[in-house]
Structure 1
Amino acid sequence: MAEGVHKKYLWAPALLLLAACGSQPALPAVAGNASVVAPSSSPPSAAPGTLAALDPCALLSPQDRSAAGVSVLGQAKDIAGARACDWTVPGTFGVTVTLDDHNGLADLDVAKKTATRTTVGAHPALRVSDKKAADGTCSVLLGVGDSGSVQVDVSNTAFTDTALACRRAATVAGLVEPKLP
């Protein structure tokens, strides 16, 4: 994962990735290998138009997954207290979408040298990758209001081709963005 990315959430997939390398030899190591939790559902009291009303695994429909090159179903995860969904395409790449109900873009701790400001649809965003590390990882962070964000993290299985990881992250972010408040 890019150096200096959000301390609370984006570092967790990278650490979990390292821990998972030896524990699941049949699957490629990808970001987001946190412990699996039951699929999340919308809390009955969730206000419409908030991230709390969203299920991260429902953000990619079967058509979206096909467009993004994802041929597997997502697995609900909890990453450092945030709801997430992880899709692992064996031998290719993994993508994790994390919903952060408490930190907007301005709250995320991202190293300036790895972040590029952009816009995805109607949402302000940051693309985060360390081109010098060339580690095959990239993130797109979408701002949702002042106090929320959606983090799309991609890791290529061979940990090479950061540009490809960024194209994949941008594709997934573009598919998720219209469903955000």
Structure 2
Amino acid sequence: MEILNVFNKDYEKIGTASREEVHTKGYWHETFQCWIVGMEENPYIVLQKRSHTKKEFPDLLDISAAGHLTAGETMEDGVRELEEELGVTVHYSQLYSCGVYKDGITIGSMKDNELANIFLYKLAGNIQSFQLQQEEVAAIVKADLHDFIALWRGDKQRIVVQGYTERLDRTRAAVTWQVSKSHFVPHGSHYYLYVAEQAKEYLHQ
């Protein structure tokens, strides 16, 4: 059973609970969220498509790599998510912190109130080098950062993302999709714009 630390809104620890209880009762808990970004002709942001077997938000586009921190883990331990989901080895010191964002999603009986510790990682290579964790990640794609911002501002209804899916035998198929907000995990426009503006500033430092 996965046990998580539980906090109040001021990020003060008040106890522990199982992941199931946390999501049923809406307790605030810690997550590690890392958005991979980069520069080619234009700045881009990397999205993972969640596996269709995921209990929560299957087949939707989401954070490059993310996960819960269990009781006893430190924020530095969160880098394991990049290794596990994408096969990317990163040291915590290589990440750029965007601070803590209070991210709440309520759907049906699930109340997911996250103290999201958001980080950026600038990719030196390309996404073709990733090794996807197939039970977690169905595809990896890139979006032009300016288009991504326009989508969440409401200036565009759809944007193009490009990348690849990976089959069970590890063969890959290139994909180009037109996606709308409905194709994303419903973190909310404010959350996505917060991340995108942080990425834009970071890439132009």
Give the structure-1-normalised TM-score.
Answer: 0.31
Larger Rg belongs to: 2
Greater fraction strand: 2
